[in-house]
Amino acid sequence: MDPLVARMRPFGTTIFAEMSALAVRTGSVNLGQGFPDTDGPPEMLEAAVAAIMGGRNQYPPGPGVPELRRAIAAHQRRYWDLDYDPDGEVLVTAGATEAIAASILALCEAGDEVVCFEPYYDSYAASIALAGAVRRPVTLRAGHDGYTFDPDQLRAAFGPRTKMVLLNSPHNPTGKVFTPSELALIALLCQQHDVVAVTDEVYEHMVFDGAHTPLATLPGMRERTVRISSAGKSFSCTGWKVGWVSGPAPLVSAVLRVKQFLTYVNAGPQQPAVAVALGLPDSYFDGLAASLRDKRDRLCAGLADAGFEVFRPEGTYFVTADITPLGGTDGVDFCRALPDRCGVVAVPTQVFYDHPDAGRHLIRFAFCKRDEVLDEAVARLRKLAAA
Ligand code: PMP
Ligand code: GLN
């Protein structure tokens, strides 16, 4: 008999772990899991070394070290004109992943419904299931205008049991940046139905076309939004697992109540280093976006040349592509066979849907890699059309 609790049985090993292990086993170029292959800003790395050597190796305070909470608040004021009190409205977490899990566990009763957009980041479904809550997915469909959803499907997803909207913009895996009118509709529905928004904005500094607008900046939304971000993406340190939550004090204190029993605290010496990184000049954040924009263009062009239909992303680390022109029908089969066929790893996105048919033909490539790695991947993928 499976000792695992029933609510977790539908969840196997994450696709990211499976695909990274496949890349290592087959010596493939890994454009699957989204992690950069270069280090973040040297000022931040040096600050972490100094913190370790300087004796900051014990438990930090539960909500996070004060200089990091102050830096998180200052950074949001600087970029988004959002004001949060570092004492009570900001909480440091073990990555965005813990922030998401703690928010859902803190705010949803069993049977409450969570509206989210599919394909969704895989931890959403698992965290909703752990809370005994129910997900109400709204489908993002790939088309000539990128990924869009049917506003009527969104309206219909809200009902008497809706407790939360979980919004990820810029969006993984599609690279979609939600438009002002889409955000306005989400905000309107949250207010009409008295629903809390949890916004996963880990790609806030990776927007190439258009602009990122935090949902919390829309009228009436700051008081009902739990805003989440993370150092992993903004500072190329995905292994540090330093994330944070900002929001009105009652919501943040509810999240802290759960978070303290998940990890209590984490990343003592990295926390002051992330504070340094958040204070870097605009040139750092502009440079990060510019470098990723070039990489996006490089990989999109290469994938199109290799025969894929490419859905050009507006933000994030990721581009999705249709495998149909290359004779593929099922992304999972395609990605499992890809290392043997040409030595490249990608991620099938159908595993991020409740309605996998909407994404069966789509796969995701990460472009947060050195140019020579992207070029090598494209050279290998070109063999597919020839085969
Ligand atoms: N949300 C999204 C949309 C992600 O892509 C990721 C992966 N970085 C996370 C959350 C998790 O972030 P972290 O590594 O900080 O836990
Ligand atoms: N966020 C990363 C991605 O989407 C991976 C995170 C993970 O492995 N859980 O690729």
Tell me the per-residue pLDDT of 77-93, one tens digit each, with 9 for 90 and over: 999 999 999 999 999 99
High-pLDDT (> 90) share of the chain, %: 96
Average pLDDT over residues 118-142: 97
What are the distances in angstroms from CA 297 to CA 35, 302, 303, 319, 384?
18, 8, 10, 10, 21
Atom 2 of ligand 2, nearest CA residue: 34
The predicted structure's pLDDT at residue 167: 98
Give the Å distance between the CA of 139 and the centre of ligand 2.
20
Task: Take atom 14 of ligand 1 and give the residue whose Cα is closest.
Answer: 95
Rounded to an integer, what distance in angstroms lies between the CA atom of residue 365 and that of residue 24? 16
- Cβ–Cβ under 8 Å, residues 94 and 241: yes
Q: Out of 11-25, 67-81, 327-341, which region has the weakest mean confidence (pLDDT)? A: 11-25
Residue 386: is its pLDDT beyond 80? Answer: no
Dihedrals φ, ψ of 61, to 5°? -60, 150
Q: Would you give the distance in Å from CA 345 to the centre of its chain?
A: 19
Look at strands 196-200 and 347-348 and give their pairing. Answer: unpaired
Q: How far out from the chain centre does Cα 312 lie? A: 17
Task: Provide the whole-model pTM.
Answer: 0.97
CB 105, CB 123: distance < 8 Å: no
pLDDT band for 387, please (50, 70, 90 cuts).
Answer: low
Per the CB < 8 A criterion, the answer to whether 330 and 336 are in contact is no
Say what the pLDDT of residue 67 is.
Answer: 98
Residue 378 binned pLDDT confidence (cut-offs 50, 70, 90): very high
Mean pLDDT of the chain: 97
How far apart are alpha carbons 308 and 100 in whole angstroms?
33
Q: Could you read off the pLDDT of 173-208 as tens digits, one per residue? A: 999 999 999 999 999 999 999 999 999 999 999 999
Is any ligand 2 atom within 6 A of the Cβ of residue 33?
yes
pLDDT at 1: 84
- Pocket of ligand 2, candidates 35, 234, 318: which has the most ligand atoms within 8 Å of its Cβ, to mutate? 35
Residue 385: which pLDDT band, with cuts at 50, 70 and 90?
Answer: confident
Instruction: Give the atom of ligand 2 at the shortest distance from the alpha carbon of 202.
Output: 1
Give the distance (Å) from ligand 1 centre to CA of residue 234: 11
Q: Write out pLDDT tens, residues 255-289.
A: 999 999 999 999 999 999 999 999 999 999 999 99
